[in-house]
């Protein structure tokens, strides 16, 4: 059993299903490696607070994990095992490198690691993640025999409605199991249904399909991939205000083509999209600081995310979230 009352911190999610606990880096590396992939684990800072907490529950072949370390760590598994690993941060951030690509992930940015991919990660001390472990064999049953296993983008933003829908479903399911896992365990068929639901929902995370009537900017996989590169670049640079030229260069597109592509795919401009991503990171940072009771300077948070004009920042924030950043902070402090 793991009653809801026991959940006071994100890292305690699924605490009723502890797989390992350790304050030893060597032991933690071995225990977590046994469940996921063998890896090297190094503490970069905060060694005094190191405590590996790994919770896990199996839904057939698919496993739901909640993992945290309590200190800033570097994780180097080299070539991982034959499974997809979908990482949904509950709090904190991580820099993920996979097969030559790199992205920052956090509470509004998830990552998808491909099977047998060369991987390296750095987690901040407060990082805690839900990790969905999906063996390639499990996913192959969901695709036609003539099609290869799907490839996913390394990072996907929660601002994408499809990603937000699936992310929320995974989070809700995990919290349900946290609170009522004992009841679900009495019905093995329900676990099978949960697994099938999660696997079918992975279609939402695939790169967007191209509409046949779309103009040239979206008429080929190459152009769609360039748009995704632009989005990935925006998500990887949430702490700076990017220019249209910089984003276009990262996507190997002209600024004009990039503008047209974003208008048709996201119904907004590249710069407005980037601003929305940065505002979301500010919002999450304020929520986290308030929950932890930390004294927080709104100006510092804004500057850390590339907002240098406080008046415009406050106006953008209110337009997007319906209240001022200070109200968000006060509301969470007194909730």
Statement: residue 234 has pLDDT above 50: yes
- Written out in words, the top-level CATH class of the domain with range 4-205 is mainly beta
Secondary element (H or E) of residue 302: helix 298-304
The CA distance from 21 to 28, in Å, is 7
The CA distance from 110 to 268, in Å, is 22
Cβ atoms within 10 Å, residue 207: 15
> pLDDT value at position 149?
55
Which has the closest alpha carbon to 170: 132, 113, 129, 127?
A: 132
Which has the closest alpha carbon to 109: 9, 239, 210, 222?
A: 239
Confidence at 220, pLDDT banded by 50, 70, 90? low
> pLDDT value at position 144?
39
Positive/negative CA dihedral, 265, 307, 111, 6: negative
> pLDDT value at position 179?
92
Which has the closest alpha carbon to 126: 87, 68, 75?
A: 68
> pLDDT value at position 13?
95
Name the pTM for this structure: 0.64
Mean pLDDT of 176-202: 83
The alpha helices in 90-220, defined as continuous H runs, are 136-140, 161-184, 188-201
Statement: residue 169 has pLDDT above 50: yes
> pLDDT value at position 295?
83
Contact 198, 132 (CB under 8 A): yes
Q: Residue 66: CA atoms inside 13 Å, Cβ hemisphere, count?
A: 23
The architecture in CATH of the region 210-335 reads Orthogonal Bundle (1.10)
Looking only at the bridges linking them, the beta strands covering 118-123 and 72-79 are antiparallel
The CA distance from 315 to 306, in Å, is 15
> What ranges do the domains of the chain cover?
4-205, 210-335
Cβ atoms within 10 Å, residue 45: 11
- pLDDT tens sequence across 74-130: 999 988 899 999 999 999 999 999 988 888 899 889 999 999 999 999 999 999 999
Q: Where is mean pLDDT largest: 172-176, 311-315, 322-326, 327-331?
A: 172-176
The CA distance from 186 to 290, in Å, is 39
Which has the closest alpha carbon to 43: 63, 66, 24?
A: 24
DSSP three-state, residue 57: strand
Q: What are the tokens at 297?
A: 């300077």
Tokens 């060597």 belong to 26
> pLDDT value at position 150?
61
- pLDDT tens sequence across 3-59: 444 566 888 999 999 999 999 999 999 999 999 999 999 999 999 999 999 999 998
Q: What is the mean pLDDT of the chain?
A: 84
């Amino acid at each position: 059993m793991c009653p809801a009352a026991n959940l006071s911190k994100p890292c305690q999610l699924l605490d009723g299903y502890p797989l390992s606990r350790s304050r030893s880096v060597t032991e933690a590396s071995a225990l977590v490696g046994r469940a996921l992939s063998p890896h090297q684990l190094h503490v970069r800072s905060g060694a005094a607070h190191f405590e590996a907490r790994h919770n896990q529950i199996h839904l057939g072949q698919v496993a739901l994990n909640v993992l945290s370390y309590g200190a800033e760590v570097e994780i180097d598994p080299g070539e991982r095992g034959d499974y997809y690993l979908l990482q949904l941060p509950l709090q904190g951030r991580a820099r993920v490198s996979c097969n030559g690509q790199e992205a920052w992930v956090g509470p509004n940015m998830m990552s998808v690691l491909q099977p047998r991919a060369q991987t390296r990660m750095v987690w901040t001390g407060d990082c805690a993640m839900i990790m969905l472990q999906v063996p390639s064999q499990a996913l192959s049953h969901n695709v036609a025999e003539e099609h290869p296993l799907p490839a996913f983008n390394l990072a996907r933003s929660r601002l994408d409605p499809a990603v937000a829908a699936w992310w929320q479903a995974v989070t809700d399911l995990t919290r349900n199991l946290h609170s009522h896992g004992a009841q679900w365990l009495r019905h093995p068929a329900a676990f099978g249904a949960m697994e099938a639901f999660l696997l079918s929902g992975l279609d939402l995370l695939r790169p967007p399909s191209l509409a046949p009537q779309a103009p040239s900017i979206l008429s080929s996989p190459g152009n769609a991939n360039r748009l995704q590169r632009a989005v990935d670049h925006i998500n990887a640079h949430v702490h700076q205000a990017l220019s249209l030229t910089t984003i276009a260069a990262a996507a190997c597109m002209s600024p004009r083509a990039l503008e047209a592509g974003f208008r048709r795919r996201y119904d907004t401009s590249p710069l407005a999209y980037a601003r929305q991503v940065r505002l979301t990171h500010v919002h999450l940072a304020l929520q986290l600081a308030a929950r932890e009771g930390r004294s927080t300077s709104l100006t510092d948070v804004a500057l850390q995310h590339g907002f240098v004009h406080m008046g415009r920042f406050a106006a953008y924030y209110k337009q997007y979230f319906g209240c001022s950043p200070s109200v968000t902070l006060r509301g969470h402090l007194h909730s």
